[in-house]
Amino acid sequence: LAGGTGSGKSFAARTLLTGWIASGGRVVVVTRGGDYRRYGEIFGGELLDIDLEDPKLRLGPLGSQEEMRAAGDHYLEHLANVIGVMVSEGQLDRVQRRLIYQALKNLYAGAKPEPTLEDWRAALRAVAVAEAETKAIGEQLVRQIEFWLDGPYGRAFRRNRKSSDARLSIWNLANIHDDDSQGVVLAITSGVIARSIRRGPTVIVLDEVWSILKSQAGAALVETLYRTVRKEGSAIWTISQSMNDY
């Protein structure tokens, strides 16, 4: 959907979604602003105003052992991608990707029922020091993740997000003002979308998609969704002010 400010894009999307939700379909909305707030309240949806300085926010990307078993092999790959966005300043090389994945694999082979990002950091240190040639690389990854654990947003990322069974999930990113933070949140959102699709056909709505396409993680998310959701019996809708945004 494309149209200028005030042309009714979000209204049209909500109208079309109503029948889908009423028939039992699932919806994940990523937006900037409050256009879907009342809609979410009417349908009993999960409403998330993402403010990384909110002391109540829980945004840690790791899930429980039970969730990992239910999701299957792709779950660790998803978590590795999320952490990769958090620790990268560009493209990760093969050694970095291997360390990230191996630390996750070792962590979920343990007995802790709900591992956290802090636990992954400890697992990464253990993996990196096991090989002399990877110690420096592991230390660099640890330094990168420390911003998200010990920096201004640490409270949010040290605590795992609780999964929701709501058929409607609305993520409002209006309070995120830098591309790095938005990229991380969008990477986490990709897991929410994947979980919803596993539970049933899902319509993914990316409102103000121009803002999502600004970040590397956002552009990658949009591309992946367009390539994959149709095979899962789901759909992606993107909404913006101009066709030139695409």
| pLDDT, tens digit (0-9, with 9 covering 90-100), for 99-143 | 999 999 999 999 899 999 999 999 999 998 887 788 999 999 999
CB distance 6 to 183 below 8 Å: no
Per-residue confidence (pLDDT) for residue 51, from 0 to 100 = 93
For residues 218-243, give the mean pLDDT.
85
Which is nearest to 174 in space by CA: 21, 62, 37?
Answer: 37
Helices (H), strands (E): how many in the chain? 11, 5
Rounded CA separation 54/18 (Å): 31
String of DSSP letters for 179-210: HHHHHHHHHHHHHHHHHHHHHS-EEEEETTHH
Helix, strand, coil percent content, the chain, rounded in steps of 5: 55, 10, 30
The 3 state secondary structure assigned to 21-77 is HHCCCEEEEEECCCCCHHHHHHCCCEEEECCCCCCCCCCECCCCHHHHHHHCCHHHH
Q: How confident is the model at residue 61 (pLDDT cuts 50, 70, 90)?
A: very high
Per-residue confidence (pLDDT) for residue 7, from 0 to 100 = 80
Other residues' Cβ atoms within 10 Å of the Cβ of residue 19? 9
Name the least confident of 97-106, 188-197, 209-218: 209-218
Higher pLDDT, 38 or 129: 38
Higher pLDDT, 43 or 210: 43
Which is nearest to 170 in space by CA: 193, 198, 200, 201?
Answer: 193
pLDDT at 17 over 90: yes
Higher pLDDT, 91 or 236: 236
Per-residue confidence (pLDDT) for residue 149, from 0 to 100 = 96
pLDDT at 198 over 70: yes
pLDDT at 6 over 80: no
Higher pLDDT, 8 or 86: 86
Write the burial class of residue 246 (CB in 10 Å: 0-12 exposed, 13-18 middle, 19+ buried).
Answer: exposed
CB distance 117 to 60 below 8 Å: yes
Q: How confident is the model at residue 245 (pLDDT cuts 50, 70, 90)?
A: low
pLDDT at 172 over 80: yes
Which is nearest to 120 in space by CA: 147, 95, 141?
Answer: 141
Triad 137, 139, 140: Cα angle to 5° = 65
Higher pLDDT, 73 or 138: 138
Higher pLDDT, 164 or 24: 24
Rounded CA separation 230/225 (Å): 8
Per-residue confidence (pLDDT) for residue 159, from 0 to 100 = 94
pLDDT at 222 over 90: no
Per-residue confidence (pLDDT) for residue 3, from 0 to 100 = 79
